[in-house]
Every structure is written in C-alpha cells, then in structure tokens.
Amino acid sequence: MQRVRIGGSEAVFLENDEKDVLGYAVWYTISRTLVHKDDLHAWFDKHGLSRFKPADPKHGDAFKRICSEYKEKKIDESADSETFLLLRPLETGLTRKIVLEKRKEGKKLSYNVVGEIAYDEKSRSVNYSLRTADPVVRDIVKEILDRFEREKDCYTDEHIRKILHRILDSCNRVKLKPSGGIYFIPLDDFYWIERFSKIVEEIKKIDPNNRTEIWYAPIVNTERHRRMLEIKVEDTLEEILNSAIERLLKIDSQDPSKVRQVDEIAKQIEQATRMAEKYTKMLKVSLNRTTSLLEKAERLLNKIRQIQLSQIEIKVKSTA
C-alpha cells in the first residue's frame, strides 16, 4: 500500500495486500422470506455455518404469527356499515376467538363471537369450531389452516435476521451508525460474513424476486479510518456495558430466573472484554473510555455472584 498526501488529506493506493485493509463495512436487508427447515439446515451445513444452525421452528409460534396477520380483516361493506373479522387472543394458551364486528364510521355497532381457533400442543395441530355458516369466515379459517400446514416447519425473515445478528456478534461487530444497520467486521472474522452471503444466494435461487441482500466494502488502513474505528469501538463497547450494568441493577433477588440472567450478563461482559482486547491490539490504542466501565461491570457481577453463593449456602444449611 502506498500513501500520499493530496491537499492535506491522505490518499491510499492498494496493492492487493491484506494488511492494507482493517476489515469490512457490512450492511444488509432481510426481506419477507419463508424457508423450510430442511433447506436451511442443508445450506448451513453446505456453507460451513453448522455452528449457527438454529433450532427447529416452533409450531405454536407459526400459529401465532399467521393469526396476527388476520387479527382484523374487512370482509363486507354496505351503504350503512362495514363488517370485520377479528381474531382475539384469550388470556392463556394458544386460542383465538373468532369475532364478527359491525361498524359505522368507526363506531362499533355489534360484536359477536362466532367461534374459536386454537393450536393444540399435544396433537401439534390446529383445531377450530364455528357457530356461523358465513362462507367468508369459513374460507378465512380454511386459509389459516392451509397456511399453518405449509409454514409450520419454515423459518421466516425474523428467524434469519436473528441468526445473522448472532453471526455478527460472534464477528466482534462494531456499529458504524448509532442506530445500527451498518457494521464494521475485522478482517480475520470476515469469513463468516462471506459464508452467510452464500445463504442469501440460496434464498434468491428459490425466489429470484426476493429482496434479501448483504453487501460489504473494505475499510482501508488509513489514519482517518483507524481514528473512526477507535471512536466507534468505544461507542459500541460503552453501549454493551451500559446495557449489562442496567440489567444487573434491575435483577430481582426473588426472581427464580436470576441465576440464568446473571450468566447471560456475564457472557455479555466477557464478550465486551474480548472485543476490547481485540481492538486494542488491532488499532494499537488504549480504549480508556471503556476500561472504567469494564471494571464497574465486573465489580457488580462479582457482588451479585457472591450474594447468590451466600444464598445457596444458606439453603444447603437449612436442608442439612
């Protein structure tokens, strides 16, 4: 790489040397997608992403998602009123009331429960009962049943987005925009992103019109870019650590899940520590702003662990 100054700014001429590049800026769009679990698992094995392979989709989640798309649907309109089909959840379980509601100029005229549709965990199937012969209602219920059968074993765009977030986190990603959306990935972690780009290609093979995409561009090793990364790394680490500290302070001592919560936060802090060490070596700078936060987070974590340990000892003594 050759560096020159032009009008007070640094210009760089690359020579195909990896040392010329610090890493890559990565951005993506995950569009509406449905991929069968067998296809996605095969793609992850094929492209070296087995460690990120997700658990099977939950049928109950598929039922909830599909019902949410039918929670309010206009099915009839006349000169003096409109009729809507509503799916309303009960307080417990995976059951939805089927309601016909008439409105005039936004005001409710009638509200009639005409049936129920529910996902049964034991039989892993969707059942329904109707107290109406309305053909439109019956058609919509059939449509929900058909979609459930087609989609119950499929991953959605939300699943794929979460998987990508896991991959980005494992790559020591740093936000280049405060709101996210564009991330920096160090050069030696970038191969995971290249592998995920193959998953995007597979999605487009089965649906050429799908707008899912992932793009990346090299961040060249210049003084300006190193300074930018130093700032963005500290911003990202500060956000991670502040989140961890806030979660630690909110833990309820009576919450039965507190041990799991502390373990999750410990992993968050350990990840931040590894990130700080990685970027300190890469940029050859000291990340002063996050050092004190790391120390504060670790002190809080140690205190909570000591309290938990003492509570466990008390329980052991009381049962002895």
Report the share of the chain in percent with pLDDT over 70.
89
- Mind spelling out the 3-state secondary structure of 141-192? HHHHHHHHHHHCCEEEHHHHHHHHHHHHHHCCCEECCCCCCEEEEEHHHCHH
What is the predicted pLDDT for the residue at 232?
A: 92
Q: What is the pLDDT of residues 60-76, one digit of tens each?
A: 999 999 999 999 999 99
Q: Is residue 280 classed exposed, middle or buried when 0-12, 13-18 and 19+ CB atoms within 10 A define those classes?
A: middle
Reported confidence tier of residue 148, pLDDT bands at 50, 70, 90: very high
* Residue 147 predicted with pLDDT over 50: yes
The structure's pTM equals 0.81
Domain ranges of the chain: 18-57+154-221, 59-152, 223-320
Q: What is the mean pLDDT of residues 282-288?
A: 82
